[in-house]
Amino acid sequence: MIVLKDIAELFTLSKASHKKARNIKLEDLSVIKNAAMVIEKEKIVWVGESKKLPPHYKKSKSVSLKKKTVLPAFVECHTHTLFGGTRAEEFELRNQGASYQQIAEKGGGIRSTVNQTRDISDKALETLGKKRLLEFQRQGVTTVEIKSGYGLDLKSETRLLKMASRLNKSFRVVSTYLGPHAVPEKHSNVDFYLNEILLEHLPKLANSKLTKRADIFVDKGYFSIEGARRYAQIIKSFGWDLVVHADQMHRTGATQLAVELGAISADHVIQINDDDIEALAKSETTAVLLPTSDLYLKMNYPPARKLIEAGARVALATDFNPGTSPTQDISFVGVLARLQMKMSLAEVLVAYTLGAAYALGLQNELGSLEVGKVADFIVLDSNWQELFYQVGHTPVQSVWSRGKSVVENKL
């Protein structure tokens, strides 16, 4: 048992949690001033004003948080963290006028990362994975979703999922299978590859118990709506969560399909219309917004304001990958959300905590600081308004996960 005391402001997000992270207003952050929080066995057992701390806790070990601000730790719900190599040269080509699609057609893009990921040893890739997780953690992120998808064949995809589960031992990692990310070089045809996934890869992966989530990239030149339907049917028969990279480059109708199939999240959702927004708003599917990848691709941003005002639940994430979003900087994501998508700071904060926890199905454990939830939180070195303000800087002094301090930043 540990009592955390001398908290100047404790952002519990309890009202946001009652509203299932929808239509967030400033008061939904549910801030308690002069607060204390009690943790037992990794979980929060009491939160409230210090002066109301029940007497029986007063004899327990206590830690002073020195009049700082405490918020829920961030949840990074969409990344492609396990990859080898870089695509820096493609970034230059794109800036000189080549399109993402043109580069992909010439064997670059996702396929280039697939080759570079196969060429790197297990040890080197795992070391990179750890380094990248620490980079997220330093910024206050204690949960990171990692997709496979840079393997494509069963052996290489399994290798990535196994690595993600090894990384989960020292960090909270949620893995997602993304075999249908691109068509591998040796297959000339998307249907042939999808059939192989459905008939051979998925049954073996289900037996391996390496993951419980599966994603698919639905877009022109990638996977079709019909393909996604067939994929979803099998995923659902396993009881796994379905995720869809939806309406990113072109409007294919994937967002509405994701809603219809009860996907846990629809990610990107850039090329969406009012009907798609309405469908998301009425559903339990979280819209995951990835503004750094939109900036790198020089695309439009998703209609965040319309989504929020219609009542959809939104999450924010980096989409960290070497092609469309070579950044792990969550401050960059938040600043773009505020500047380009006109999200309020309260909306950004909830999207990066509770909204993202929903996208991972972890809303009962993470994303707010309430009794019964896991004690994952950050202690700020500044006022909360300095969050998502200065790109490249997160004013996080310390990061706690499962009730233990895991990072002390020198600021």
Instruction: Tell me the C-alpha distance between 222 and 197, whole Å.
Output: 14
Give me the residue label for tokens 């990239």: 217
Q: Site for ligand NIG (CB under 6 A): how many residues?
A: 13
Q: Which lies closer to ligand NIG via its Cβ, residue 217 or residue 352? A: 217
Terminal alpha carbon distance of the chain: 29
Q: Which span sits near ligand NIG by CB under 6 A: 105-113, 122-130, 228-236, 327-335? A: 105-113
**SS3 at position 266:** strand
x-or-dash string of contact with ligand NIG, 108-137, rule CB under 6 A: -xx--x------------------------
Q: Which lies closer to Fe ion via its Cβ, residue 90 or residue 319? A: 319
Minimum Å gap between C-beta 300 and ligand NIG is 14
Q: Would you say 117 and 85 are in contact if contact means Cβ atoms under 8 Å apart?
A: yes
144: closest CA among 359, 369, 294, 389? 359
Q: Judged by CB under 6 A, which of 323, 326, 355, 367 binds ligand NIG?
A: 323
**SS3 at position 243:** strand
Minimum Å gap between C-beta 325 and Fe ion is 7
Contact flag: residue 293 with ligand NIG (CB under 6 A): yes
Q: Which lies closer to Fe ion via its Cβ, residue 295 or residue 371? A: 295
178: closest CA among 152, 139, 140? 152
Report phi then psi at 172, rounded to 5.
-95, 105
Q: Which lies closer to ligand NIG via its Cβ, residue 137 or residue 293? A: 293
Minimum Å gap between C-beta 40 and ligand NIG is 39
Minimum Å gap between C-beta 212 and ligand NIG is 20
Contact flag: residue 321 with ligand NIG (CB under 6 A): yes
x-or-dash string of contact with ligand NIG, 163-202, rule CB under 6 A: ----------------------------------------
Contact flag: residue 217 with ligand NIG (CB under 6 A): yes
Report phi then psi at 73, rounded to 5.
-65, 155
Which single residue brings its beta carbon nearest to ligand NIG?
Answer: 323
Q: Residue 403 binds which entry of ligand NIG, Fe ion, none, with Cβ cut-offs from 5 to 8 Å by kind? A: none
Let me know the angle formed at the C-alpha of 22 by 17 and 23, rounded to the nearest 5 degrees: 120
Q: Which lies closer to ligand NIG via its Cβ, residue 17 or residue 328? A: 328
Instruction: Return residues touching Fe ion (CB under 5 A).
Output: 319
Handedness of CA 10, 14, 19, 20 (dihedral sign): positive
Q: Residue 324 binds which entry of Fe ion, ligand NIG, none, with Cβ cut-offs from 5 to 8 Å by kind? A: ligand NIG
Q: Judged by CB under 6 A, which of 324, 368, 394, 397 binds ligand NIG?
A: 324
Q: Would you say 218 and 257 are in contact if contact means Cβ atoms under 8 Å apart?
A: yes
Cβ partners under 8 Å of residue 181, min gap 6? 110, 147, 149, 150, 152, 215, 217, 222
**Burial track 131-143 (b if 16+ CB lie within 10 A, e otherwise):** ebbeebbebbbbb
Q: Which lies closer to ligand NIG via its Cβ, residue 293 or residue 394? A: 293
Minimum Å gap between C-beta 80 and ligand NIG is 6
183: its two tokens: 């068509």
Walk across the sheet containing 213-217 and list its strands.
213-217, 241-246, 265-268, 286-289, 314-316
Chain residues in the site for ligand NIG (CB under 6 A): 80, 109-110, 113, 217, 245, 248, 293, 319, 321-324
